[in-house]
Structure 1
């Protein structure tokens, strides 16, 4: 099997063990001892899958997963010593594709890795012919021409409105906080009292929703942020 996997865990022995398992299956690996190191690797190299521990110093796996999902779509398998359902729910809600608990069986780990890689590569092949088009129900976004159509009618968005809509659409189903949206679109630090994102979301809804007070596309997750 071909592919490159980023293994993120603060335990050196676990990183080494997983690297051996994956290497025996023909996969290339890169390891990181914490989430901040992993984010640096993601800026420097391309990966097909990430194995991400939840309990880590500096930045935990939940926060790291949400940050990765702002721009990247490769599969993420969460790894944790905890087995409670709430941890699984938090991991999957943050954008992870699968979850496995420690201690893990090597065959189970490889089965999950192979399954996620097959799905990811199939999706990429299917999407290669038209990567610039994002289609969500009656909403169509062309990221090359920066055009948007809703119910077959073109709507005009400002550059920032388009950037926010594209960010949400590329992270379909994932809740993005106001601060993450602001920092991803405006490329600067977010101030807690800033209502810029909320104002822009309101304007986008006015343009794409039939009933802005009962939106179909952009949903508010109270106390957390927004999602499509």
Structure 2
């Protein structure tokens, strides 16, 4: 039975790779029917798709190819999706969309806190999932009118590179960020000294896709603070403005 499942997955991967397409998506899902439906939908929408049924298979796929986004199921055999997400986020900025049957807000927020960029609960429509994937892919690709804003931004020894989408600490070590974390920090750096409401931050970064606007933005801001503040519980660079939103107090320079 397992051999048949492996053969089925291999057949699907061969089918999904055969078309001439652009963005490469890795689906980590052990339900072959769900994987088939997702793969066919994304392939029809111009994406290259590969399927893995576990963290082990995902690791092998990542060694062989560079992917633009990972759709990651929470309930997987062996290492679960939440642990995989946490592990991936420690070393890569690749967008991660979590897929799960769990629907409570606590589960969605936990997914965001460990580094997921978006969170979709089953049952879902293929159209909705495709729209969310496209939104994440857009956030990681700079439009032509953004190219004149490509200079590296520096603050308090840190550097933020809009083109390479990389954050480096004062020792020049790269710090992994999620898509929304990077976009939020970029928005703060480009609006230093100005109070930004949660609604403004949402419009700039689409950071509220995975849940309620206020809670989702707050989660991402909290994670940024953990990375750039000396004490995330007493932030100096990224402060909360009561009834207003957030303000980035650092002096930002272009390099």
TM range (shorter): 0.5 to 0.7
Would you say 1:139 and 2:157 are equivalent positions? yes
Q: Which residue of 1 aligns with 2:65?
A: 45
The residue correspondences of 1:64-103 to structure 2 (distance < 5 A) are 64-103=84-123
Native 8 Å contact 1:48 1:75 kept in 2: yes
Would you say 1:116 and 2:136 are equivalent positions? yes
Q: 2:177 aligns with which of 145, 148, 171?
A: 171
Change (3 A) 1:17 1:74: same
Per-residue CA distance 1:95-150 (angstroms, 9 max, x = gap): 11111111111111111111111111228x969x979x574x4232499xxx975x
| CA shift for structure 1 position 214 | 6.2
- TM-score by length of structure 2 reads 0.54
Runs of 5+ unmatched residues, structure 1:
150-156, 175-204, 218-228
Change (3 A) 1:216 1:2: same
Native 8 Å contact 1:53 1:61 kept in 2: yes
User: What is the Cα-based RMSD across aligned positions, in Å?
Assistant: 3.7
Runs of 5+ unmatched residues, structure 2:
1-20, 162-167, 183-227, 238-255
Would you say 1:16 and 2:36 are equivalent positions? yes
Native 8 Å contact 1:142 1:148 kept in 2: no
- Cα distance in 1 for partners of 2:90, 2:56 equals 15
The number of residues matched between the two structures is: 165
Would you say 1:54 and 2:89 are equivalent positions? no
Change (3 A) 1:107 1:138: same
Native 8 Å contact 1:23 1:29 kept in 2: yes
Bigger mean CA offset, 8-17 vs 37-46: 37-46
- TM-score by length of structure 1 reads 0.60
Change (3 A) 1:109 1:214: closer
Secondary structure, counterpart of 1:74 in structure 2: coil
Q: Which residue of 2 aligns with 1:199?
A: none
| CA shift for structure 1 position 90 | 1.2
Secondary structure, counterpart of 2:71 in structure 1: strand
- Cα distance in 2 for partners of 1:19, 1:148 equals 38
Q: 2:47 aligns with which of 13, 20, 27?
A: 27
Moved >4 Å (runs of 4+): 213-217
Q: Which residue of 1 aligns with 2:16?
A: none
